[in-house]
Every structure is written in structure tokens, then in C-alpha cells.
């Protein structure tokens, strides 16, 4: 395996730094659910989503300008790049935040953990992948896991609702669409270029929403904690984690990097229990375990 170790630098310390960065990435992505809940205490979902994407677009622009390889794109690529921004980023974040406002952190993170299943379904529809019997069985198991979650008594779900869970499903589906459809575009353009266009297009699409929802909103009454939460959501999960993710892909295999994603629901659940007081019950763990099993079987099928 190529480690990319520079001359005179041992592989051990280099790998230590790499795995520390990956651990930070998992933590930042996991904490995004908790931080989102905190921001939603003071911001309405639509306004929060608009602010997050607009700020993330601003954060991406300097990265786009500083690319080592000059960014170049053709006019025929523009419709797809804009579509990825409106559908993949705007819709995804909108559904994620609305879902998070109506369900628990645990429900949201477990449902979004099913994203690989939706990636497979969409890829199969456009003839990029083939669904085997084992993969189909994994999908069915994951769906049963979601059914177990929604069959739990309300007291164990920390105000989880079916509507909130459905929006979380839509968030996973739209991100899966972004993943599949951006694959061909990313062969011609750097991932920084694709994501910059996506976030900037999303920011332009949501700018009227920010103006509309912010017109009568008392920004002066928003606490420092809430503003910090918005900045966190725009910077860490949207930009910094993305940079760590692609840095990790350049040093270790994609399968090994993706394996760390299984830690995200665990970390998010623990953080939700510690900071938000969400209850983690045995039936909840059982539902999560069934979803995990289904996703794992689908990915390895």
C-alpha cells in the first residue's frame, strides 16, 4: 500500500496524524447533529439552512481560487454542476435540517446511515450497479430496522416523529443522488471545483429564502451559542471534514475510510445522550443494530 511518506519521515507518525484527522472528521460530522439541534432552538429550519449553505459557499470560494491545478470547465458542464448544487446540496441540507427539527438525533443519524443503500438503488436505476440477492436482502433488513425505530414508544424516541424520519430519508436520498451523479463530473473536474459550484449554486438558490425568512427575524436577539452553531455547521462538516476526507482517500483505500463512517451513529448517539438528554434504550439499540446489519450486508453484497 502506498503511504505517501516523504523522504526521512517514518510511516508511523504519518499514519498517526492521518488517523487523528480521520477521528476528528468523524467527531465533527457526528457533532453536527447536536449542533444543529442547538441552532434550531433559535433559528427556524429554512433560515438556518439558507445561512449554513451561503456561509459554506463563501468558505469554499478561497479553496477554489487556491487550487494547485487551475480550475477549468466547459459550458456544457454548467447545467449538471448547477443541478448538483440545487438538488444535491440545497435539497439535501434542507431535508436534513427540517428532519432534524422534527425527530431525534439518534433517529436522524441512523436513517442517514442508510445512504449507501440509496446510492446503490440510484446507481442500479441508471445502470451503474447491479443489485444482487445479497444486496437486496441487506436493503430489506435495513428497512426493517427503520420500521423497528418507528414502532418504538414515543418516550424512547426523544420527540421523534414519522414526518421527521421521512425528511431524514429524503436527506439521505438526495445526498445519494449527489454522490452518484457527481461521479462522472468529478472525472473531469477536481472535487473542490464540483463542491464549490454545488455550494455556491445552493447559496444562490437559497438567497431569496434567507431574505424572506430573515426580513422579520430578530437577528439581534440570537445568542452567541446559536451563531457559533451556524458557523460550525457551515465550516466544519461542510468544508474541513471534506478536506480531511479527500486527504485520507489519497493515503489509504476508500473502503478503509468508509469503514470509519460506522462510528458516526455511535458517536452522535453518545453525544446526544450526554448533551441533549436523549434516551438510549435497548429497543433503540436493537433498531440501530438491524439497520447497521442491513447497510453492511448491502455494501459487501
> How many angstroms separate the CA atoms of 26 and 14, rounded?
19
Per-residue pLDDT reduced to its tens digit, 90-128: 898 999 999 999 998 988 998 888 888 888 888 888 877
Q: Give the model's pLDDT for residue 50.
A: 94
pLDDT band at 3 (very low <50, low <70, confident <90, very high): very low
Q: Which three cell numbers stand for residue 36?
A: 444543529
Concatenate the DSSP letters of all residues of the chain into one string.
----PPTT--HHHHHHHHHHHHHHHHHHHHHHHHHHHHHTTTS-HHHHHHHHHHHHHHHHHHHHHT-SSPP---GGGHHHHHHIIIIIIIIHHHHHHHHHHHS-HHHHHHHHTTHHHHHHHHHHHTTSS---HHHHHHHHHHHHHHHHHHHS-GGGTTS--HHHHHHHHHHHHHHHHHHHHHHHHHHHS-HHHHHHHHHHHHHHHHHHHHHHHHTT--GGG--HHHHHHHHHHHHIIIIIHHHHHHHHHTTS-HHHHHHGGGHHHHHHHHHIIIII-----HHHHHHHHHHHHHHHHHHH-
Q: Give the model's pLDDT for residue 235.
A: 94
> How many angstroms separate the CA atoms of 208 and 234, rounded?
18
Residue 249, CB-side half-sphere exposure with 13 Å CA sphere: 9
Residue 139 and residue 298 in contact, taking contact as beta carbons nearer than 8 Å: yes
Burial class (CB in 10 A: 0-12, 13-18, 19+), 136: middle
Q: How far is CA 181 from CA 118, 243, 280, in A?
A: 13, 20, 36
Per-residue pLDDT reduced to its tens digit, 7-37: 333 455 677 888 899 899 999 999 999 999 9
Mean pLDDT of 188-200: 80
pLDDT band at 4 (very low <50, low <70, confident <90, very high): very low
Q: Give the model's pLDDT for residue 98.
A: 95
Per-residue pLDDT reduced to its tens digit, 220-273: 999 999 999 999 999 999 888 878 877 787 777 666 776 777 788 889 988 998
The answer to whether residue 155 scores a pLDDT higher than 50 is: no
Q: Give the model's pLDDT for residue 298.
A: 79
15's enclosing H/E stretch is: helix 11-39
Per-residue pLDDT reduced to its tens digit, 46-67: 999 999 999 999 999 988 888 7
Residue 54 and residue 204 in contact, taking contact as beta carbons nearer than 8 Å: no
How much is the pTM? 0.83
Q: Give the model's pLDDT for residue 123.
A: 84
**How big is the chain by its Cα radius of gyration, in Å?**
19
Amino acid at each position: 500500500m502506498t503511504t505517501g511518506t516523504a523522504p526521512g519521515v517514518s510511516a508511523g507518525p504519518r499514519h498517526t496524524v492521518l488517523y487523528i484527522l480521520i477521528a476528528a472528521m468523524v467527531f465533527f460530522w457526528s457533532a453536527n447533529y447536536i449542533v444543529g439541534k442547538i441552532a434550531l432552538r433559535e433559528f427556524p429550519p429554512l433560515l438556518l439552512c439558507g445561512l449554513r449553505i451561503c456561509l459554506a459557499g463563501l468558505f469554499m470560494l478561497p479553496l477554489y481560487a487556491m487550487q494547485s491545478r487551475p480550475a477549468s470547465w466547459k459550458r456544457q458542464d454548467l447545467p449538471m454542476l448547477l443541478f448538483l448544487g440545487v438538488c444535491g446540496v440545497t435539497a439535501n441540507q434542507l431535508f436534513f435540517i427540517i428532519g432534524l427539527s422534527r425527530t431525534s438525533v439518534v433517529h436522524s443519524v441512523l436513517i442517514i446511515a442508510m445512504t449507501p443503500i440509496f446510492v446503490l438503488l440510484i446507481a442500479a436505476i441508471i445502470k451503474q450497479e447491479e443489485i444482487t440477492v445479497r444486496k437486496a436482502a441487506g436493503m430489506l433488513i435495513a428497512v426493517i430496522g427503520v420500521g423497528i425505530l418507528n414502532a418504538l414508544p414515543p418516550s424512547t424516541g426523544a420527540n421523534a416523529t414519522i414526518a421527521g424520519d421521512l425528511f431524514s430519508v429524503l436527506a439521505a436520498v438526495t445526498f445519494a443522488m449527489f454522490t452518484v451523479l457527481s461521479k462522472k463530473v468529478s472525472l473531469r473536474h477536481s472535487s473542490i471545483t464540483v463542491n464549490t459550484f454545488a455550494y455556491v449554486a445552493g447559496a444562490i438558490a437559497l438567497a431569496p429564502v434567507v431574505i424572506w425568512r430573515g426580513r422579520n427575524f430578530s437577528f439581534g436577539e440570537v445568542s452567541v451559542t446559536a451563531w457559533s452553531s451556524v458557523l460550525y455547521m457551515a465550516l466544519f462538516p461542510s468544508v474541513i471534514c471534506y478536506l480531511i476526507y479527500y486527504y485520507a482517500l489519497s493515503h489509504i483505500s476508500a473502503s478503509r475510510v468508509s469503514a470509519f463512517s460506522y462510528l458516526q451513529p455511535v458517536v452522535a448517539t453518545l453525544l446526544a445522550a450526554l448533551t441533549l438528554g436523549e434516551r438510549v434504550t435497548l429497543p433503540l439499540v436493537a433498531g440501530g443494530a438491524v439497520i447497521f446489519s442491513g447497510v453492511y450486508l448491502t455494501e459487501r453484497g
